[in-house]
Amino acid sequence: MPKTKLLQQLARKHGTPLFIVDHDALRRNFAEFRRWLPRVQAYYAVKANPDPAIVRTFYEAGTSFDVASIGEFRLVYEHIKRLSPKARQDFIWDKIIYANPIKDTATLEELDRYKPLVTYDNLAEIGKIRRHAPHAGLALRIRVPNTGSMVELSSKFGAAPGEAVDLIAAAFDAGLSVEGLCFHVGSQCTNFNNYVQSLNMSAQVIEEAAGRGYRLKLLDIGGGFPAPYDGSVRRFRELARILNAELRRLFPKEIEIIAEPGRFLVATAATLVAEVIGKAERDGKRCYYLNDGLYHTFSGVLFDHCQYHIKAFKRGHDQLSAVFGPTCDALDTICQSEPLPDLDLGDLVYSEDIGAYTHASSTWFNGFPPAKVVHIST
């Protein structure tokens, strides 16, 4: 069945706004990641989309998980225990990394009994971990270039490479064990040189640490793997060739390599179908109002700096139109210049590649509920 026909059929059955997740697409994305980066174990970044059904599909496909809150940890841990009831507690390192460098004390105390792998990037965090999660293993996050990434992260997280080994030494002096390094080049990174520089910086830190008697055995290369939102994004296999060459050159086989893909795995696996609930002419421009907006599935426009294109099922001459969400806030503006045909009230539109950092940030602002979620396999 053609995709557009399926989308309309699902919308008639379930109503709108409707967030449709294709689990075959999830599996294809993970298979592509594993095919082109065979040395790298994928830890799905749950924050991109924490839907339990998505967690289940990725777990069954063989992923591990990157969590950044105790809520995400509980979601993944309990889900895995239900799927694998005989799993030992020490499975946790193989399946979950707590990759938020800043953690509150209650979170650390709850995590401690699982002997988790957690990230850190400063002295104060070492003190908290020593007091509240002394059984944790640590990975030091270093600050790396984020130039050209859609969402920059280096201003908030990461130790300067020059202080990295001192922070590793401080953790060992506190009676903790540092297992390795981690970094993040920024979300939707289309500047592949960020990875090259980051890998070289990491290799230098690992070498300096070894020279001071600290042997690290793990490198987490983070996320940032770009989703193919449009033709300007270079193919993943091109990035993988660069990464594979650098990993072979810089890191011996005994160094375990992991990564935290989120957007790459889920962005292209979801489509939103919405309804035109309003229509107006303002200053010579056609304006449409949808029953989904910036406070809901299109939250990525604001929080993720990502523009999602609106497409019509109806054919006709396109004209540049403004598209708004349903709330009474002027911030709820999806786009100002989307080419759309003449639409009527009740017509349906759709937006593709909207699976990452979208529905996960939906609110109930103004009393409007998030889009209903439907899971399919095409």
Q: In this structure, is the dihedral angle defined by the CA atoms of residues 51, 57, 59 and 61, taken in order, positive or negative?
A: negative
| Residue 296, SS3 per DSSP | coil
According to DSSP H, which parts of the chain are helical?
3-14, 23-36, 52-61, 70-83, 92-95, 105-112, 123-132, 164-173, 193-211, 236-250, 263-266, 300-303
| Distance, CA of 247 to CA of 253 (rounded, Å) | 9
First to last CA, the chain: 9
> What tokens appear for 320 in the block?
């540049």
Is residue 287 annotated as a catalytic residue, yes or no? no
Which residues does 367 contact at the CB level (< 8 Å), separation at least 6? none
Please state the length of the chain. 378
Residue 159 DSSP symbol: B
SS percent in the chain: helix, strand, coil, step 5: 40, 25, 35
Helices 123-132, 105-112: axis angle to 10 degrees equals 50
Q: Is residue 178 helix, strand or coil?
A: strand
CB neighbour class for 1 (10 Å; exposed up to 12, middle 13-18, buried from 19):
exposed
Distance of CA 9 to the CA centre of its chain: 29
Comparing CA positions, the residue from 151, 146, 191, 185 lying closest to residue 301 is 151
**Alpha carbon of 75 to those of 87, 297, 353: distances in Å?**
16, 21, 24
Question: Which residue in 189, 287, 306, 328 is the catalytic one?
Answer: 328
Interatomic CA distance for residues 293 and 295, integer angstroms: 6
Active-site residue list? 328
